[in-house]
A = this chain, B = another copy of it.
Amino acid sequence: MEKNLKRMATMHRMQTTGLALFYKNGFYKTSIDDILKELDLSKGAFYYHFKSKEDFFISILENLVVRKVYSMLIEPIEGHDNPLDLISKCIEDALQTAEHNQNDYGFLLNNFLNEFNGRNPEIMKYLNDTLKIWEVNLVSSLKKGKFNGYVDRHVDCEGVASYIISSFLGVRTLMVEGSATALRYRYMQQLRFYFRAIAHKQVA
């Protein structure tokens, strides 16, 4: 088993710097040599561990991206509190992280979703699956919120989930340009406003 440790360590090194460069420059604009130069490794090492550039990228999705999405977007909304509060808090955290840390995984999804759209069905499948996981968890969280009296009975949970995801992906696209902080502030204000509208109406 010890021999596998070295293998895993090298593969992991390749994956993390690979992801960083793919995120920064795009998949097609990042050559394998670029990654290897950063790691002081050779072509031989790369093709010993991965069978192709595409295979390499999929392994990154499976190992790094999916897990990050879980820890940043899914786990924080689990619990029995008001889901609308949990979700808005979670999204605000994600946006705030994105502001300070360029190598942010929420936007990564958005980035790659656009890059591979209609060009690489295999990779698109993984990206869509990851999005779907987020969506499913949002929906179930909202439904639980309905049951617990936090969310109005009449709202369409699937619709709300899609709307949340849409606006999040969109605002992440916008945030990279300029005034990320101001944008986040305005975005969160509108999101919370929207959430108040779908919250359970208290009889005055």
Contact = CB atoms under 8 A, between A and B. Distances in A.
Provide the main secondary structure of the chain A interface.
helix
Interface in A161-204: 162-163, 165-171, 173-174, 176-178, 183, 186-187, 189-191, 193-194, 196-198
Contacts of A115: 26, 114-115
Nearest to A177: B128
Given A114-B173, A166-B171, 11 more contacts: A25-B119, A117-B177, A156-B189, A159-B186, A160-B190, A165-B174, A166-B168, A169-B170, A169-B173, A169-B174, A193-B197
Interface residues of A, number: 45
A171 B193 CA distance: 20
Contacts of A187: 159, 162-163, 166
Given A114-B114, A187-B159, A166 B165 contact: no
A137 interface: no
